[in-house]
Amino acid sequence: MSVRPAGERARTATALLSGGLDSTVAVALWLEAGGSVALCLTFDYGQRAAAREIGAAAAFCRRRGLPHRALALPWLGELAGQRGSALVGEGSALPTGTLQRPGDERSAQAVWVPARNAVFVAAAGAFAETVGAGAVVAGFNREEAATFPDNSAAFVAAATAFLALGAQPPVGVDSPTLAMDKTAIVAAARRLGIAEGDVWSCYRGGERPCGVCESCLRSRRAWAAGAEA
């Protein structure tokens, strides 16, 4: 059984903030619920959208008065390249889909980065331990959990159990968006004053979102559904 922190420390977090829709809303929900954030972390492992992700995350942190740090993990990018992940470099074509079917297990495999969320959670746990935080906050969600197991409730539970033993004192993992799909996350974003242009949810790093990658399609569908509601 994992041991979760209690009291004020449990309400203080380090946050995994990619600058995308899910992680940005997760941090905002954590703050709305009365939590505090000691540090937001954005990781640069050589992904195509790294600069845009870091920029969106940094801008959100400036607006909310939150500490932000970008961490370079070049070795993770090297491993992703060796595995053939389309998220790094320009050698592999990014998978595309449709609004009705933005992604599946095949497209998930095409963009998989080895143990990415496990690495991110472990790193955030180390920072949490040293800044007096009792939680790692992440923007996982049930929609992507269908094809990305490291977005699932089982992953959150396992990560919490891992950090109960791997951090002293223990650190828990929380995801305020865990039970949500993208449409629900967009609804929360609108309520919290987060606009579509405030986040970067594209696998590419161009001037504008590409509109055809899985991440873009999921976001487009959710923002459109929210506008029609």
Mean pLDDT on 112-127: 97
The span from the CA of 201 to the CA of 19, in Å, is 8
Q: Is the pLDDT at 57 greater than 70, yes or no?
A: yes
Has residue 2 been placed in a domain? Answer: no
Please check whether residue 138 is in contact with residue 17, taking contact to mean a CB–CB distance below 8 angstroms.
Answer: no
In this prediction, residue 93 carries a pLDDT of 77
Q: For the chain, how many structural domains are there in total?
A: 1
- Statement: residue 227 has pLDDT above 70: no
- Checking if the pLDDT of 117 tops 70, the result is yes
Specify the pLDDT at position 1: 35
Once rounded to an integer, what is the mean pLDDT over residues 29-56?
Answer: 97
pLDDT over 70 (residue 104): no
- Whether 80 is covered by a domain: the verdict is yes
Is the residue at 53 inside a domain?
yes
More confident residue, 98 or 59: 59
Domain carrying residue 89? 7-228
- Let me know if residue 22 belongs to a domain: yes
At 229, is the pLDDT very low, low, confident or very high (cuts 50, 70, 90)? very low
Residue 1 inside a domain? The answer is no
Q: What is the mean pLDDT of residues 200-219?
A: 91
Q: In angstroms, rounded to a whole number, what is the distance separating the alpha carbons of residues 6 and 115? A: 28
In the predicted model, is pLDDT for residue 151 greater than 50?
A: yes
* Residue 189 vs residue 100, higher pLDDT: 189
Q: What mean pLDDT is predicted for residues 148-155?
A: 95
pLDDT category of residue 91 using cuts at 50, 70 and 90: low
Q: How confident is the model at residue 156, as a pLDDT?
A: 97
Token pair 């946050």 in the structure block, residue = 15
| Spatial distance between the Cα atoms of 14 and 112, rounded to a whole number of angstroms | 24
pLDDT mean over 166-184? 95
Smallest CA-to-CA distance from 143 within 186, 179, 111 is with 179
Reported as a pLDDT band with limits 50, 70 and 90, residue 145 is very high
Q: What is the CATH number of the domain that holds 203?
A: 3.40.50.620
For 136, phi then psi, to 5°, come to: -110, 125
